[in-house]
Amino acid sequence: MSRQQTIAQSASLSGAGVHSGKPATLTIRPAPEGAGVRFVRADVTDRNAVIPALVTMVTTTELGTNMSNDAGVSVATVEHFLAACSGLGVDNIIAELDGPELPILDGSSRPFVELLTQAGVKEQSAPRRVLKILKLVEVRHGDKFARLSPGEGFEMRVVIDFQTKAIGRQEIRFAMTPGAFARDVAWARTFGFAHQAEQLHAMGKGLGASMDNTIVVEGDAVLNPGGLQSGDEFVRHKLLDVIGDLFLAGGQIEGLYEGEQPGHALNNRLLRAVFDDAASFAWT
C-alpha cells in the first residue's frame, strides 16, 4: 500500500506570471496527512486566503487553470506546479504565494520539480487516497474530447493536431511510474503563436510571456533561437497540462485518460462529470 507524502522542509522560488507579468515568490511548506494541496495568498490579509486545489474551486480555464475561494481570493496558472506535485507523488503541501499568479519560470514544470526535490519528498503514515475510475466517462466539444476509463495504474494518451507544420499531429502515450514524469514530461515548455500576441495583450494576458518561457510559433516555424528540446515537445507539454489539471481530483487517479485536442476546459469538465456520477468512481 502506498502512503501519503509531503515535503521535509520549506523552499522558495520567484518569478513573474506569464499572463499578469507580476512578480511573485512561491514558498512551499510541509502539510499534515489528509491536507491535500492548499494555495495560500500571503499578500491577502483581510479575507480567507486559503484555496484548496480541488476541481470545484476552478473558476476560469482560459489560457490556464485558475481558482478562487468563496471569499473571492484567487490564484492563477496552477497547472504546472500541480503537475510537478502529481509527478513526484506529493499529496500534502502548502503553496504560499505573495501574488496573484504562479511564476511561469521557463514555461515547464522542471523548476517546480527541482524545488520539490530541494525540499525533499517525505513519506507519511496514512495510506494514499486514490480515485479509482469504475466506468467510462467522456466529455466532448466538437471534434475534441477527453475521457477517463478503468485501467491499472495511471496511464494517458494525448493527441494534438495543428495546421502549422511546426506542430502538425502528435501523439504520446505515458504511464505514471516512479521517475517517469521528471524524465519524460516535466521539461516540456508551454507554447503560443506570434500572431495572437497583440490580441492577448489587449485582453491583459501574456504580459509576462517571452521566448525565455514560451515556445513561439509563427507560420510553420519555431522562432526560439534554441529551437525545441524534442520534436514532440508540444504534445509533451499538453500531457503536462493534463497531469496538472487532473490532480485537482484531490488525489492520484487509477485509470486511463484519453484526450484528443484536450484543454483546461475539457479536463475540468471531465473531472466534474466523474464526480457528478457516483457510479463512475470510488476512493480507495
What amino acid positions are annotated as catalytic residues?
Answer: 264
Q: What is the phi/psi pair of residue 10, to 5°?
A: -80, 155
C-alpha cell at 13: 522560488
One-letter amino acid at 25 equals T
Neighbours of 91 (CB within 10 A): 25
Q: Between the CA of residue 59 and those of 54, 66, 68, 112, 242, what are the distances in Å? A: 11, 6, 6, 23, 17
One-letter amino acid at 199 equals Q
Range list of H helices, 89-196: 110-119, 180-184
CB < 8 Å & 24+ apart, contacts of 20-24? 20/76, 20/99, 20/100, 20/101, 20/204, 20/207, 20/208, 21/207, 21/208, 22/99, 22/100, 22/101, 22/208, 23/99, 23/103, 24/97, 24/98, 24/99, 24/100, 24/101, 24/102, 24/103
Which residues, at least 6 apart from 265, have a Cβ–Cβ distance to it below 8 Å?
A: 61, 62, 141
One-letter amino acid at 153 equals G
- Taken in order 270, 275, 278, 283, the sign of the CA dihedral is positive
User: Distance between the two ends of the chain, CA-based, in angstroms?
Assistant: 11
Neighbours of 14 (CB within 10 A): 13
